[in-house]
Amino acid sequence: MRAFVIGGTGFIGYRLARLLVARGSIVTCMDTNPAAHSFADLGGKVTSVRGDVTHFDEVMTAMTAAKPDRVVNLAYLIGDHAPHAALKLNILGMDNCFEAARLLGVTHTVYAHIDDMAEVFARVLTTDKPAHRVYNSGGTAISLGEIADIVRSYLPDAQINFQHERGAKARNSTYLLDNSRLLSEFSLQYRPFRERVLQIINDIRRDAGLPLVG
C-alpha cells in the first residue's frame, strides 16, 4: 500500500508515517518543512517532499508522483490564529487535498482535527472498508494545566506558562464526543496520560540527544 501524508513531518505526521511503514506501507510525506524529521533509519520506505497544501498545483504534483492508495491530511491550525491564515489552511487546504485525491482516484482519504492520534489514523487508514465515515476520538477530560503538572513531575525545572492560570479547560469540551465506534471496531485502548506524556518527553529528549527520564 502507498500512503500520502500531508503534514507528514509534523508532530502527528512523523509518528503516523512510522506506524504505516511498520504495517508494510510505502509512505510519501508532503510538508512545508520536509527536513523537520528524518526517516533515514527506515531504509527509503519514506520519501519527504516539500509542498504547501494551500497551493493546489503543489498538492496535485506531489500526489501524482506518489501514486497513493491512501491519503491523510494532517496540515491544519488549531487554537487562536489569524482568521485568514486559519481559513486558508484549514478550509482551502482540505479542499485541495480532497480534490486531488478525487481526480487521482484515491480509494481512501482520512482527515481529522484532533491531537496525537497517530495509532488511530494508522488503523483507520489501512482498513479497506471502515464501518463508518466519521469517527470521534473521545478521551478523558484534562486541562493543559494538569498536563503541565505531569510534565513537571518528570522535569521539576520545566518552565511552563499560560495566559490564564491553569490553561484551557472549561472551553474545551471535545472529550464529551462519543468514541465507541473507534473502541469497538479497532479495539483501541487509550494509554494513561502520565504514560503518554512521558513517552512524548522522551521522544523529544532522544531526538535532542538528552538522557531519558522517568
Residues near 103 by beta carbon (within 8 Å), at least 6 away in sequence: 60
pLDDT (tens place) for every residue of the chain, 214 residues total: 999 999 999 888 888 999 999 999 999 999 999 999 999 999 899 999 999 999 999 999 999 999 999 999 998 876 666 778 878 888 899 999 999 999 999 988 877 654 446 677 778 878 888 888 777 666 666 677 788 888 999 999 998 887 665 555 544 444 445 667 777 777 776 677 788 788 888 888 888 899 999 8
CATH class of 2-130: alpha beta
Cβ burial of 104 (10 Å; 0-12, 13-18, 19+) is middle
Distance CA 20, CA 118 (A): 9
Domain(s) labelled CATH 3.40.50.720 in the chain stretch across 2-130
Place of cell 521522544: 203
Interatomic CA distance for residues 116 and 75, integer angstroms: 13
Rounded Cα distance, 53 and 31, in Å: 8
pTM of the model: 0.64
193-207 vs 144-154: helix axis angle to the nearest 10? 60
